[in-house]
Amino acid sequence: MDELWRCNPELIFHVYVSGAKQFQKPYDTYKNWSCFIAEDGEFEYRMGNTSGRVRTGDMVLCPPDTAFHRTTSGLSFHFIGFRWEHDRVPPGYLLPDNGRLCIMNNRRLGSTLSLLRETTPLKTEAGLQYKKHLFRDIWQLYAVESSALMQASLISEDPFVQRAVRLLQDHVESGAPLKQVARELGISPVQLTRLFKKEFRMTPVKYIAGLRMARAARLLIHTGLTLADIAERCGYTDEHHLSKTFKSVMGVNPSAYRKDHTV
């Protein structure tokens, strides 16, 4: 997912709304790209044929000239209008279909959002440049977490959680079930899931899926292994399971991905 690094958002304006009981309008359409980040509370949304729910710490991107329907019963949020530098928009297969982005490092995100909130009164050019810096920091944080490098190296200050991460990494190739990893840790699968979600805002199952997909992508690019061999090395049942999963996540089948990413 290194393509995300080459796509940089440039903030045009920023508005912070605190303690809104509801949105002023049930829907709106914007001429620029827009981003809604929930700092406290949640809201439901719909744009085009997709819909979803944004909770505290989540953000959703809405393309230009797209009707964005939304509803809430209580929300503090950041509303940002932006464009992509050099019109370099991230490929569709690198972004969730419903536009909702989740950042795992909620402490770092919370700190940046706090700084962004404090800039609300600043109307100077210096203030605008600082807001641009903060918004790009949020995007780069998402890009880092989405990259194969970060997917393979989640870091926690808690030694027990870090051990859980290492065990999950060790079991990628074997395709071992979650309960086996939990057993080695001396806890239940439910406890492991809760622990992981609290620390990284994602489930261990989703983390394992990301590790397998990242490894499969690397093997497609850097080796001449067959799909059957790659499936075996990445914990998939067979090459058909790999192909189906790969296309649903990456937007293209493994053969096309290999062709597009090798010289």
Q: What residue type is assigned to position 91 of the chain?
A: P
Task: Tell if the pTM clears 0.85, that is, is over it.
Answer: no
pLDDT (average), residues 16-32: 95
- E strands along 64-119, which residues? 68-71, 75-84, 100-102
- SS3 of residue 103 by DSSP: coil
Mean per-residue pLDDT for 183-208?
90
Mean pLDDT of all residues in 65-82: 97
| Exposure b/e, 98-127, CB count within 10 A at least 16 = b | bbbbbbbbbeebeebbeebeebeeeeeeee
What are 246's two structure tokens? 């790969």
Spell out a b/e string for 191-213, using b for 16 or more CB atoms within 10 Å of the CB, else e: ebbebbeebbbbebeebbbbbbb
Q: Which helix (H) or strand (E) holds 13?
A: strand 9-20
By CB atoms closer than 10 A (0-12, 13-18, 19+), residue 95 is middle
> Looking at beta carbons, which pairs linking 189-197 to residues 24 or more positions away fall under 8 Å?
192/164, 195/160, 195/161, 195/164, 196/161, 196/164
Which of the pair, 148 or 225, is modelled with greater confidence? Answer: 225
The pLDDT mean for the chain works out to: 87
Residue 29's contacts (CB-CB under 8 Å, 6 or more residues apart) are 65, 66, 67, 68
Residue 54, beta-bridge partner list: 43
Q: In this predicted model, what pLDDT tens digit does every residue of 238-256 receive, in sequence order?
A: 999 999 988 887 778 999 8
Query: 81 forms bridges with which residues in the sheet?
Result: 13, 34
Place of tokens 């090798």: 262
**Per-residue model confidence as pLDDT tens digits over 214-247:** 888 888 887 888 999 899 888 888 999 999 988 8
In this prediction, residue 250 carries a pLDDT of: 78
Domains and CATH numbers, the chain: 4-153 (2.60.120.280), 159-260 (1.10.10.60)
Which tens digit of pLDDT belongs to each residue from 75-115? Answer: 999 999 999 999 988 877 667 767 888 776 777 888 999 99
The predicted model gives 39-52 an average pLDDT of: 92
- Report the range of poorest mean pLDDT among 5-14, 75-84, 198-207: 198-207
149 confidence band (pLDDT: 50, 70, 90): very low
pLDDT of 138 strictly over 50: yes
Q: How far apart are CA 172 and CA 193, in angstroms?
A: 17
Can you read off the two tokens belonging to residue 38? 């929930």
Predicted confidence band at 176 (pLDDT cuts at 50, 70, 90)? low
The pLDDT confidence band at residue 167, using thresholds 50, 70 and 90, is confident
Q: Which pLDDT band holds residue 173 (cuts at 50, 70, 90)?
A: low
Task: Tell me what pLDDT residue 206 has.
Answer: 85
Predicted confidence at residue 36, as pLDDT, reads: 98
